[in-house]
Structure 1
Amino acid sequence: ATVQLIFSLAQVQYSRGFSGSRSTSLTVCHFSAVHRLTCPRRNSPYSSVDSERYSSLVKSVMSSTVSSQTPETLQAEDGHVYGPVVKARTPPRTEPRLPKTLHPFVNPERTLETEEPEAGPPARILLNRGKSRPFIPSVTRILQQTLSPEQIFYLERWKRRMIAELGEEGFKEYTQNVFKQGKLFHSALEDILTSADTWRNKNLSETPQCPPEAQGYIQSISHVLEDVSAVRAIESSVQHGPLNYLGIVDCVARYRGVLCVIDWKTSEKPKPFLSNTYDNPVQVAAYAGALNNDGNYKYQVENGLIVVAYKDGSPGHAHQINSELMSEYWKTWLLRLEDYREHR
């Protein structure tokens, strides 16, 4: 269309420029690519036009489709109309927070075991809170009182949703049942792991010591128990003297040949990843650090294992925590311990 317009204007100017002479009529035809390729080449009727004379006309027509504004002038005009551009400041990078005092995770006075220990019954040191003993906070208490605002938000939202569905009394009964089932599950595990008979290659959910409420959980982790051996402690208390806290470990045993602090968990929802277990890895690291500094234990543990069991019997998940990860979770535990003391 632009080419046709230029040719039409050139035709008018050409006719006016040669007034007095024989009138020349120029007809603008439609162009066709096919026609141009198939027909013999003919001389254009515009070949005799003085291109230099009409160059200013062509430039003016062609320049009308292009903005005369440059990016700089457009930006200046935009700033005049809408104001200057306010750019968000990049937040400064903050270094990761470190504990004020980095207490060692392992006890340098002890050596790590590399071989299977001698056979013997697993230790079970009861927690004794006598009146004469000063108050020592537990790992569970410290973690509960140092939850992040985000954790508190989601916990409260879950609680409100459950109360809306079950009511106040229904929610209270629900929490009691969860606690009861967890206690029965741990009790059944204790009976199985301390039994003189081997538990491998057996249907553990049908053993006499397994109550009906725990059968699904036991069946869920039966494949994990096949890799557990050399049980050293079950439901045994541990205490860290220098850091002044205590806890009760579920189990200390070898899992696939590696000595671990094992934490048994129940869940209604699948937890296929370690990140789904929230603060449980920090809890395991706190237990291991206390055991390594407790005089009742003559060995050390650098690894952890979190086993999640499901009530419907579906295969549970076993999350291993190697020594490097345990060291990182130990630092997180030291930070939570500092927060607890500052709040108190």
Structure 2
Amino acid sequence: MFILKRVASGGGIILRIPQSTSLPVSYFSACHCLRSSKRRSPYSTVDSERYSSLVKSVMSFRVSSQTPETLLVEDENMYGPVVKCQMPSTRPEMRVPKTLHPFLHCEETPEETVEPEESEESGPPTRILLNRGKDRSFLPSVTRILQQTLSPQQIFYLERWKRKMIAELGEEGFKEYSQNLFRQGKLFHSALEDVLTSGDKNLLSDTPEHPPEVQGYLQSISHVLEDVRALRAIESVVQHDSLGYRGIVDCVARYRGVLCVIDWKTSEKPKPFLSNTYDNPVQVAAYAGALNNDSNYKYQVESGLIVVAYKDGTPAHAHQLRSELMLQYWNKWLVRFEEFTKQRSSHASSASSEKR
């Protein structure tokens, strides 16, 4: 009796003959006899001549009706308004400030620059409120200067992110999203101020006193707060009189024994590296430089700390900036400040010319 067996891989049939037979061959393949029908290509029905003429009409500039203007209109219809900003070079130009203003206040005596004893740091933290009175001369803020001196690359990615969010949420939805982020940030800083000034760093109690919107953020920074002590200033205005700018520092305290300007940030995405924090190190250096040159503060700060908190309670990332790194970012801040001053002078000249 013969046994027919189908081979899965080849699609053929093998004929098995019992060993009792006298045939010298035990197996032979019949796959060549049972060939499957040739598969038909999905492109066999394409009109080759028509396709060829279509390619020629698109690729040939002589017959194509497309122009840069029509391509721009087509892109706007398909993807929305085009960001009219050229993609900058991947290697940004390394610039140095024209004038190297000192980071530390060099006129102070050595006794004043020595870090105070722990007993001298036990008093209430300094908190100088922002005076918006008309009797004071206008000084630009650190935030405003950084916003108006963004690089072309930063503007490109910021506009692209904004367009993406508007495409997903709509104009009103994006506006509400931005307002919620601002509100959560204010609530977080307010709750953090209560925690730091009260000295109660037990943020995992069964009866939380803070709004539910900030519970995750506070849990996120709980391990960082264990290393923060000797609070010197909180939500306090710092002003650089010689350069002419001001800002509001979140916190000045010791982190693992080192006196730092601390900036608390919230983020929806992880920022495990200092490079993920964009202009935040420049901002911290600007605050520290202003504090060091502000007569309201009788000490000098050479280091910084950026703490990125997460709403889901994931442990925050703490990026410490030692004195050498702070000097590098201080020079970057001086470049940005010079660029801002140049822009302001240019605008003032243009306004004066228009009045004439």
1:237–1:247 Cα contact (<8 Å) kept = yes
**Cα offset for 1:301?**
0.3
Relative to structure 1, is the Cα distance of residues 309 and 205 closer, same or farther in structure 2, using a 3 angstrom cutoff? farther
* Paired residue secondary structure (1:300): coil
Q: 1:157 to 1:217 in 2, by over 3 A?
A: same
Match of 2:302 in 1: 302
1:325 to 2:328 alignment: no
- Aligned residue in 2 for 1:262: 262
Q: Do 1:205 and 1:219's aligned partners in 2 also have CA atoms closer than 8 Å?
A: no
Give me the TM-score of the superposition, normalised by structure 1: 0.70
Matched, 1:186 2:193: no
Deviation per residue, 1:100-150 (Å, 9 max, x gap): 110100011141306423311111100102112121100000000000000
In 1, Cα distance between equivalents of 2:205 and 2:313: 9
Q: Which runs of 4+ in 1 moved over 2 A?
A: 93-97, 114-118, 202-209
* Alignment correspondent of 2:26: none
The aligned runs of 1:324-343 (5 Å cut-off) are 324-343=324-343
Secondary structure of 2:113 counterpart = coil
Q: Which residue of 2 aligns with 1:249?
A: 249
**Identical aligned pairs, as a percentage?**
78
Name the structure 1 match of 2:165.
162
Residues 1:133 and 2:116 aligned together = no
Query: Which residue identity is paired with 1:106?
Result: L
For 1:215, the equivalent position in structure 2 comes to: 215
Q: 2:151 aligns with which of 140, 148, 152?
A: 148
Residue 113, structure 1, aligned to residue 115, structure 2: yes
Unaligned runs of 5+ in 1: 1-92
Matches within 5 A, 1:1-344: 96-108=94-106, 109=108, 110-113=112-115, 115-116=117-118, 117-195=120-198, 197-199=199-201, 202-204=202-204, 208-344=208-344
Residue-by-residue CA offset, 1:141-161 (whole Å, 9 max, x unaligned): 000000000000000000000
Q: Which amino acid aligns with 1:176?
A: Q
Paired with 2:113 and 2:207, the residues of 1 have a C-alpha distance of: 38
- Secondary structure of 1:334's match? helix
Instruction: State whether residues 206 and 215 of structure 1, in contact with CA within 8 Å, keep that contact through their aligned partners in structure 2.
Output: no
In the alignment, is the contact (CA less than 8 A) between 1:248 and 1:287 conserved in 2? Answer: yes
Q: CA RMSD in A?
A: 1.7
Q: Is the 8 A contact 2:121 2:231 kept in 1?
A: no
Paired residues of 2:121 and 2:232 also in contact (CA < 8 A): no
Q: Secondary structure of the equivalent of 1:221? A: helix
CA contact (8 A) 2:203 2:218 kept: no
Structure 2 unaligned runs (5+)? 1-90, 345-356
Tell me the distance in 2 between the aligned counterparts of 1:219 and 1:96: 39
Task: Please say if residues 112 and 301 of structure 1, whose CA atoms lie closer than 8 Å, have aligned partners that are also in contact.
Answer: no
Give the counterpart letter for 2:210 in structure 1.
C
Count of matched residue positions in the alignment of Structure 1 and Structure 2: 249
CA deviation digits over 1:248-292, x for unaligned, max 9? Answer: 000000000000000000000000000000000000000000000
Deviations 1:66-119 (A, max 9, x none): xxxxxxxxxxxxxxxxxxxxxxxxxxx999432111010001114130642331
Distance in 2 of aligned mates of 1:239 and 1:183: 22
> Cα distance 1:164–1:94, how it changes in 2: closer, same or farther (>3 A)?
closer
- TM-score normalised to structure 2 length: 0.68
SS of the equivalent of 1:106 reads: coil
Please say which of residues 207-216 and 133-142 is displaced more in the overlay: 207-216
Shift of 1:198: 3.5
The 1:133/1:162 distance shift into structure 2, 3 A limit, reads same
Distance 1:207 1:258, change over 3 A: farther
